[in-house]
């Protein structure tokens, strides 16, 4: 990346030196004022040339050429070069006749020489810009393909035959004593969680009601595993269970709460609230934490924030903060 940038800068300065060669400025520098006047003239010429290249690269190409508005781009390019040619033909007299009141710098180039050179520079830099963008996009495509292959490989390595797994769970469930209702309920909840992950959550969007059911099963299972000084509260209120949301979008925060909740002798708490009204969902998750133990962001939270940015863009707000031994997550999104 840095090599490409330095190459671009070198080509830019080479083109500018070419512009000076075309101009062939002839000036007798004998006094301090004359030296300052000459340097000011070079700076202005450099600024005009820079303006020509930057306007073409930052405005004309992205807004016209990349959108295939070829006629508009050609018209804009010719207009830009004409402006450059006009400025290079008049800045000399303005600087020395109006600002410094001294002898103008003589040049050997005329209108057409400046026009042709300006046009050649913009076309060449446009080709370099397009080539660089094409190279970056090709590199992005390759990276995406590599990531897809790596993801597929990880999935294949971690995949367990679902039929074998569920058959094994059914066998274990049948082996549990009928009197042990708590263990049997936990096995059913775990089976439902697994089924949701394997079959139902493998979609782009899912009904809110199904996501809430999964969350309830997960919380119930975690409560069964927790000790007596753990208070877990789940409050859910929704008007339309058919609202579509991204699957498991809230679970990263719920899992993080159970993972990093305080484990002291005093009462430890997790409070989860989810409200839905008119397609707008308000989700909060608070858990107590021990200040002596840091709560890292973790891969799960980073992935959740990335998914929110990709799927909901400007339709969500996420606020995460720690205060008074409470780790607080507040997420609102529009389905």
Between 235 and 5, the higher pLDDT residue: 235
CA distance 187 to 185: 5
List, for residues 221-231, the tens digit of each pLDDT value: 888 877 778 89
Mean pLDDT of 269-278: 94
Are 117 and 18 a contacting pair, CB within 8 Å? yes
Give 40-77 pLDDT, tens digit per residue: 666 777 777 778 888 888 888 888 877 888 888 888 88
Residue % of the chain over a pLDDT of 70:
72
This prediction has a pTM of 0.51
pLDDT band at residue 297 under the 50/70/90 scheme: low
Whether pLDDT at 234 is above 90: yes
What mean pLDDT is predicted for residues 174-190?
79
pLDDT at 51: 82
Averaged pLDDT for residues 308-315: 86
- Cα–Cα dist 283/273, whole Å: 6
Average pLDDT of the residues of the chain: 77
Categorize the per-residue pLDDT at 130 as very low, low, confident or very high, splitting at 50, 70 and 90. Answer: confident
**What's the rounded mean pLDDT across residues 2-31?**
56
Listed in sequence order, the DSSP H helices in 67-110 are 70-94
Asked whether residue 216 carries a pLDDT value surpassing 60, the answer given is: yes
Mean pLDDT calculated for residue range 295-306:
73
Cα separation, 96 vs 310, whole angstroms = 56
Determine contact, residues 241/279, Cβ cutoff 8 Å. Answer: no
Query: Using 50, 70 and 90 to split pLDDT, how confident is the model at 281?
Result: very high
In the prediction, which pLDDT does 2 show?
46
Per-residue pLDDT at 23 exceeds 50? yes
Q: Report pLDDT for 108.
A: 46
CATH 3.20.20.70 fits 227-334, yes or no: no
Three-class DSSP category at 176: coil
What would the two tokens of residue 271 be?
Answer: 């409070």
In the block, which residue shows the tokens 């290249």?
Answer: 53
The band of 196, judged by pLDDT with boundaries at 50, 70 and 90, is: confident
Q: Where are the domains of the chain?
A: 2-153, 227-334
What is the pLDDT averaged over residues 19-35? Answer: 55
E-state strands within the chain:
206-207, 230-238, 244-245, 268-277, 280-288, 316-323, 326-334
Lowest-confidence region among 35-49, 146-160, 256-270: 146-160
Identify the three-state secondary structure at position 270. Answer: strand
Per-residue pLDDT at 275: 95
CA-closest candidate to residue 60, choices 50, 49, 72: 72
Q: Beta 230-238 vs 268-277: how paired, if at all?
A: parallel
Residue 92, φ and ψ in degrees, nearest 5: -60, -50
**Token reading at 298:** 């973790």
């Amino acid at each position: 990346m840095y090599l490409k940038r330095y190459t671009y800068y070198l080509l830019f300065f080479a083109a500018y030196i070419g512009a000076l060669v075309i101009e062939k400025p002839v000036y007798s520098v004998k006094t301090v004022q004359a030296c300052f006047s000459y340097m000011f003239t070079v700076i202005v010429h450099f600024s005009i040339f820079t303006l020509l290249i930057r306007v073409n690269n930052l405005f004309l190409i992205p807004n016209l050429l990349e959108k295939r508005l070829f006629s508009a781009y050609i018209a804009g390019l010719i207009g830009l070069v004409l402006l450059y040619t006009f400025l290079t033909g008049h800045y000399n007299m303005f600087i020395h006749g109006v600002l410094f009141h001294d002898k103008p710098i003589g040049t050997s180039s005329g209108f057409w020489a400046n026009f042709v050179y300006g046009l050649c520079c913009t076309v060449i830099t446009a080709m370099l810009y397009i080539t660089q963008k094409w190279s970056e996009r090709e590199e992005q495509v390759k990276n995406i393909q590599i990531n897809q292959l790596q993801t597929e490989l990880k999935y294949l390595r971690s995949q367990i035959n679902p039929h074998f797994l569920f058959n094994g769970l059914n066998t274990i469930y049948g082996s549990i004593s009928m009197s042990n209702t708590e263990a049997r309920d936990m096995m059913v909840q775990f089976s439902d969680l697994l089924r949701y992950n394997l079959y139902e959550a493998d979609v782009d969007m899912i009904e809110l009601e199904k996501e809430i059911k999964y969350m309830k099963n997960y919380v119930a299972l975690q409560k069964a595993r927790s000790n007596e000084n753990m208070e877990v509260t789940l409050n859910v209120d929704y008007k339309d269970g058919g609202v579509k949301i991204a699957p498991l979008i809230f679970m990263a925060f719920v899992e993080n709460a159970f993972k990093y909740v305080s484990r002291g002798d005093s009462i430890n708490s997790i409070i989860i609230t989810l409200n839905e009204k008119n397609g707008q969902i308000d989700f909060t998750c608070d858990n107590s934490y021990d200040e002596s133990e840091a709560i890292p962001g973790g891969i799960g939270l980073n992935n959740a924030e990335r998914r929110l940015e990709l799927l909901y863009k400007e339709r969500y707000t996420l606020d995460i903060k720690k205060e008074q031994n409470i780790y607080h997550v507040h997420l609102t999104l529009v389905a």
